[in-house]
Structure 1
Amino acid sequence: MSDSQASNPASPNDKADLTEWLDYMQQIHVSAIDMGLSRVLPVAEALGVVQSAKDDAYVFTVAGTNGKGSTTAVIAQMCQAAGYKTALYQSPHLSAFNERVRINGEMVSDQTLIEAFSKVEAARLQCDLTLSFFEMTTLAALLIFAEADCDVWVLEVGLGGRLDVVNIIDPDMAVITNIGIDHVDWLGDNVEDIGREKAGILRNGIPLIYGATDMPTSVQQAIDKNQATCYQVGQDFHYREIDAITWQYSNAAVTLQLPRPALSLTNTANALSAVLASSLAVDIAAIEQALRTVKLAGRFDYRELENRHWLFDVAHNEQGVEFLLAQLSPLWQYVAKQNSDEQTNSAPATIKMLFSMLADKDIDKVVQRLTESGLPISDWFIAEIDYPRAASTQQLQGILSNYVDSAQIHEFKRLSEATQAVINGSQPQDLIVVCGSFHTIGEALAALEK
């Protein structure tokens, strides 16, 4: 028996459930994040997923610092509305792991995942290699898509691009939503290094949608090297808000007036550009249908629960907060006006923050941007996320105290306790904003469901 097998726990048996498989896959590799394709490629080839995607599917691969989830959701919804059997892979999830793997908008079943995990595990052992949790689960998703004979694969890059496991699949269309400073331990601490990593999803001659007006030199160099056709926002396509329910998109070939989706217009415009530049037949009716129906939990996700107004957003870096604030201001005006019309004698409405982050993120920048936004944030409810890389409550409190009065900070041991406290400490006219991490949103939603 090899060292890699000897050091690993035994594979789950035939009766193992999804939780047991997920727990097992988190234990079999030395680190949660291990960049590189040398270990995963032999397993992927043994499974046949690389060849299947190349022969049978049109593949969109989406990289970027922020907006990947919204962009992939819109692309998938448009392709599905046009009649294509559409696979969507995203990460991480909020509540259930199955959220990561969808076919025609539906999460795949536990049993489908378990069968795929079993096949990936057999191939891994055959190749005598260890794989990280993300590598194992991504391979399983790709295998499911191949076996389901999906027409279109929409793949969200987990981290970076060049060395991410998603990059074993050659895309027909590449999208880079934007480039900001994030994941500095793996991608670098400047936009040139980060851009080089994200541009690693390019292939010779394929189109690239670039969703930001500023482009690092490293990305342009990758475009030139691959002889790619680049469509960049502000140059090759444009969009603008018309009113609360309508927006306009234009490129050199078309000008469209479209229904406004429940997601960011920036990400929607990038997604639409990718679909229009593809070889797929997607007509205006499918586009309009998709925009009316697309939604994504945790991305500017407004809900009314427990007689309170809630906004859930996974913003976890400075650029993500900028996206959030750009949309939050008009929503706040709507909520405040609605309540002023209904409750003339009540106290003025305020914003309550339910907040937590991972320790390796730039918490100070996020807090600074939120506190300097000019929005009436009256209280912060904080707790430590139940996750290994979580920032401690003390760390969160220490940073917050540099920007707000200590009386505005309410500390709790668990996020579920903070969730109940923000309900008790708010009024029906207030807006509760939950942000800072996917895990923050997931735990808050789980607490509300209970």
Structure 2
Amino acid sequence: MSDSLISHTHTPNDKASLTEWLDYMQQIHVSAIDMGLSRVLPVAEALGVVQSAKDDAYVFTVAGTNGKGSTTAVIAQMCQAAGYKTALYQSPHLSVFNERVRINGEMVSDQTLIQAFSKVEAARLQCDLTLSFFEMTTLAALLIFAEADCDMWVLEVGLGGRLDVVNIIDPDMAVITNIGIDHVDWLGDNVEDIGREKAGILRDDLTLIYGATEMPNSVQQTIDKHQATCYQFGQDFSYRALDATTWQYSNAAITMQLPRPALSLTNTANALSAVLASPLNINISAIEQALQSVKLAGRFDYREVKNRHWLFDVAHNEQGVEFLLTQLLAFWQQHLANQPTGGQASRAPATIKMLFSMLGDKDIDKVVQRLTDAGLPISDWFIAEIDYPRAASTEQLQGILTNYVDGAQIHEFNRLSEATWAVINASQPQDLIVVCGSFHTIGETLAALEV
């Protein structure tokens, strides 16, 4: 490795905090995103994580444009409810880094992460390679899972599939939630190229759960190449909502009436299909228990905070917003129905306040267009720049919004924390505040609310 690519930043000492380690790992590679497995594989082999996963664990790997977090959360909850020691790796996080690495639903400690980072760093230096932040932290998660001797590894792909560091681990079961246009700078600007990258998680004779009705030819070609078995949503399994508390799942072998989870039914159906297609011993009572308890912050996440109704969703592309709107339209009617009526005749009608910000490399225009075309009573938009290098500027957000809404409805702030308190002060208890646009938008808002 060229010396010019290796940071001269000193490795944190034994007493370094988790924050110091995370800051250090942000600095040791020339780019935040660096696709490819050639650098990470030697380090992974030196750590023994590849062999450990192969010999000791059953691995679910989940790729896709949207819904990976919900899908992995449901799979992990079902495995855990059935008594398996279950590891869950997700990214990014909302509030604290530890959210990314969980064993039996519990975040691992700072000290566990620090010890793993130290071992990954030693292996990296031994191999004389640089690794990106995501590569370093993913290897640390895999090492933690191996050392904890977890039965199940449920792994969320970070970006794409074929060249993502998660793909150093051979899955026993693969899930592709859907294929949409996102991360075009790294994956391509069409569904065929993106599908080819995401289908890179497949292996010979593997089972794939494909969670959408439309499948790019590139995915089918990869399935054929690996002689994989594919179960596709709409063909091999389906679901329908029965009422507010129950839903029905069906495949060729079984029909099940189940409690309705707090997460997307589409993602839940994909997760359930993966579990049912596996050789694992997970019975109906474990499935029901998991569905009643599974949660995931930031995914159609309703909360009552500061005497206000909040809905947090990490939707950050057109497909994610479509999914958000499908749920939000029904939720809004339910929200109105729950409003008290007696003695409230003089009160202003409930409206939706949007607290919104996005990363600059996303298709902000399409996201805003879908949100404004949905027919929801959005009265005001509160915008600010995310505290992140790739953030869209407030001016960029404002410029796009003015193409779709009256300028008087747009309220600009320097920080999301300021926008958070402004939307509280400008809203009424009967209103709904919707926070969306990015993981970072949700994380900064939750931090401002101190929840």
Mapped to 2, the partners of 1:5 and 1:182 lie a distance apart of: 28
Q: How does 1:102-113 map to 2 (within 5 A)?
A: 102-113=102-113
Q: How does 1:13-412 map to 2 (within 5 A)?
A: 13-341=13-341, 343-412=344-413
Mapped to 2, the partners of 1:6 and 1:197 lie a distance apart of: 28
Alpha-carbon deviation of 1:345?
3.1
What SS class does the counterpart of residue 357 from structure 1 fall into? Answer: coil
Contact 1:2 1:128 in 2 (8 A): no
Contact 1:4 1:130 in 2 (8 A): no
Alpha-carbon deviation of 1:334?
1.3
Alpha-carbon deviation of 1:346?
1.2
Mapped to 2, the partners of 1:18 and 1:24 lie a distance apart of: 10
Q: Which amino acid aligns with 2:89?
A: Y
Mapped to 1, the partners of 2:63 and 2:274 lie a distance apart of: 13
Mapped to 2, the partners of 1:168 and 1:299 lie a distance apart of: 28
What SS class does the counterpart of residue 341 from structure 1 fall into? Answer: coil
Contact 1:359 1:391 in 2 (8 A): yes
What SS class does the counterpart of residue 71 from structure 1 fall into? Answer: helix
Residue number in structure 2 paired with 1:434: 435
Mapped to 2, the partners of 1:224 and 1:233 lie a distance apart of: 18
Contact 2:352 2:380 in 1 (8 A): yes
Alpha-carbon deviation of 1:442?
0.1
Mapped to 2, the partners of 1:434 and 1:2 lie a distance apart of: 44
Alpha-carbon deviation of 1:339?
1.4
What SS class does the counterpart of residue 434 from structure 2 fall into? Answer: strand
Q: Which amino acid aligns with 1:328?
A: L
Contact 1:87 1:104 in 2 (8 A): yes
Mapped to 1, the partners of 2:331 and 2:150 lie a distance apart of: 38
Mapped to 2, the partners of 1:261 and 1:60 lie a distance apart of: 21
Q: Which amino acid aligns with 1:437?
A: S
Q: Which amino acid aligns with 2:425?
A: N
Alpha-carbon deviation of 1:344?
3.7
The change in CA–CA distance for 1:235 and 1:5 in structure 2 (over 3 A counts) is: closer
Q: Which amino acid aligns with 1:292?
A: Q
Structure 2: which 5+ runs fail to align?
none
CA offsets per residue over residues 297-352 of structure 1, 9 Å max, x none?
00000001111110000000000001100100111111112115363431100000
Q: Which amino acid aligns with 1:384?
A: E
What SS class does the counterpart of residue 435 from structure 2 fall into? Answer: strand
Q: Which amino acid aligns with 1:53?
A: A
The change in CA–CA distance for 1:293 and 1:5 in structure 2 (over 3 A counts) is: same
Residue number in structure 2 paired with 1:416: 417
**Runs of 4+ in structure 1 over 2 Å off:** 4-8, 340-345
Mapped to 2, the partners of 1:67 and 1:115 lie a distance apart of: 31
Mapped to 1, the partners of 2:19 and 2:412 lie a distance apart of: 31
Alpha-carbon deviation of 1:179?
0.2
Contact 2:5 2:29 in 1 (8 A): no
Mapped to 2, the partners of 1:6 and 1:332 lie a distance apart of: 52
Mapped to 1, the partners of 2:211 and 2:414 lie a distance apart of: 39
CA offsets per residue over residues 260-294 of structure 1, 9 Å max, x none?
00000000000000000011100000000000000
Q: Which amino acid aligns with 2:250?
A: S
CA offsets per residue over residues 135-188 of structure 1, 9 Å max, x none?
000000000000000000000000000000000000000000000000000000
Mapped to 1, the partners of 2:148 and 2:368 lie a distance apart of: 44
CA offsets per residue over residues 46-80 of structure 1, 9 Å max, x none?
00000000000000000000000000000000000
CA offsets per residue over residues 172-218 of structure 1, 9 Å max, x none?
00000000000000000000000000000000001000000000000
What SS class does the counterpart of residue 414 from structure 2 fall into? Answer: strand
TM value normalised by structure 2:
0.99
Alpha-carbon deviation of 1:256?
0.1
Contact 1:316 1:361 in 2 (8 A): yes
Mapped to 1, the partners of 2:345 and 2:357 lie a distance apart of: 33
In the comparison of the two structures, how many residue pairs are matched? 450
Alpha-carbon deviation of 1:7?
3.4
Mapped to 2, the partners of 1:287 and 1:324 lie a distance apart of: 25
Contact 2:63 2:175 in 1 (8 A): yes
Mapped to 2, the partners of 1:417 and 1:193 lie a distance apart of: 40
What SS class does the counterpart of residue 203 from structure 1 fall into? Answer: coil
Q: Which amino acid aligns with 1:283?
A: N
What SS class does the counterpart of residue 365 from structure 2 fall into? Answer: helix
What SS class does the counterpart of residue 243 from structure 1 fall into? Answer: coil
